[in-house]
Amino acid sequence: MGRLLSVLRSALYLLFLTATVIPWALTAVFLSIFMRGDPLYWVCAGWLRTAILGARWICGVRWRIHGMEHLPKGKNEAVVLAAKHQSTWETFAFPALMPHPLAYVFKRELLYIPFFGWAMWRLDMIHIDRSKRTEAWNKVATQGRKFMSHGTWVIMFPEGTRTPRGSHARYQSGAARLALTAGVPLVPIAVTSARCWPRKSWLLRPGVIDISIGAPIPVQGRSPDALTREAEGWIESEMRRLDPEAYTPDATQPAAAVRS
């Protein structure tokens, strides 16, 4: 009975997302003729907040945020956010919950998703072709510095993909390299979203997702590898503190993950 209820709630939630994203995205594309930058960003973030509120109202997916005091207070203070990636939920939640515009680094194929991708195309985001590694990095570095010079925070998922609950993939150094290139701190973030919304699934379970924001890691005099390992160490340790039942003694080794 419990699973049937979850299936029905999840199906209703999908209908809710579809019914809201179409008019919202078309409105955003139309408005992009007249406005760009932060005003258009907040229009789109409004739908993302609607999406996570819908998950709470329909499926019982709630959240708690720890460590907001670690985020910059100044309007033009930029950082690179390096976040755990377990599900679709955090891609919706970060722009909805963060008090500052974000620029995601993401694979360009997402732009081809009807309505949702069309609106993303009009925002100041960094979409890359992951098959062209050098070209992709050059674009991340160039556009990342440009956006951060205006105070935008760049967010990246160091694992590069969604990972199953209780495991992690190899952390890549792109976020650390960008932070070093721009001379801004690297902020690690742990997220227990797979507790309620497993990867590669649209079957949501009621519960509480924890978002924990770590203290900024200074980049001066550091190497990309050292920064990446420090961020990885904090995130994975925090994941075990927030979601201890998901981890077994042998869960310290990177797990194979399905590309998102």
Asked whether residue 207 carries a pLDDT value surpassing 60, the answer given is yes
Instruction: Tell me how far CA of residue 205 lies from CA of 3, 51, 200, 231, in angstroms.
Output: 9, 15, 14, 29
Q: How far is CA 158 from CA 34, 69, 168, in A?
A: 35, 22, 10
pTM confidence score = 0.90
Examine the pLDDT at 146 and tell me if it is beyond 50. Answer: yes
pLDDT bin (cut points 50, 70, 90) of residue 137 is confident
Distance CA 111, CA 203 (A): 24
Bridge partners of 191, per DSSP, are 211
Nearest C-alpha neighbor of 118 from the set 32, 52, 202:
32
| Amino acid 1: pLDDT | 64
- Poorest-confidence range of 60-64, 150-154, 255-259? 255-259
Task: State the Cα–Cα distance between residues 200 and 165, nearest whole angstrom.
Answer: 12
Assign 259 to helix, strand or coil: coil
Q: What residue type is 110 in one-letter code? A: L
- Written as six digits, the tokens of 176 are 């650390």
Write the pLDDT tens digit of every residue in 13-44.
999 999 999 999 999 999 999 998 899 999 99
Enumerate domains of the chain plus CATH numbers: 2-246 (3.40.1130)
Give the pLDDT of residue 104: 94
**228 vs 168, more confident:** 228
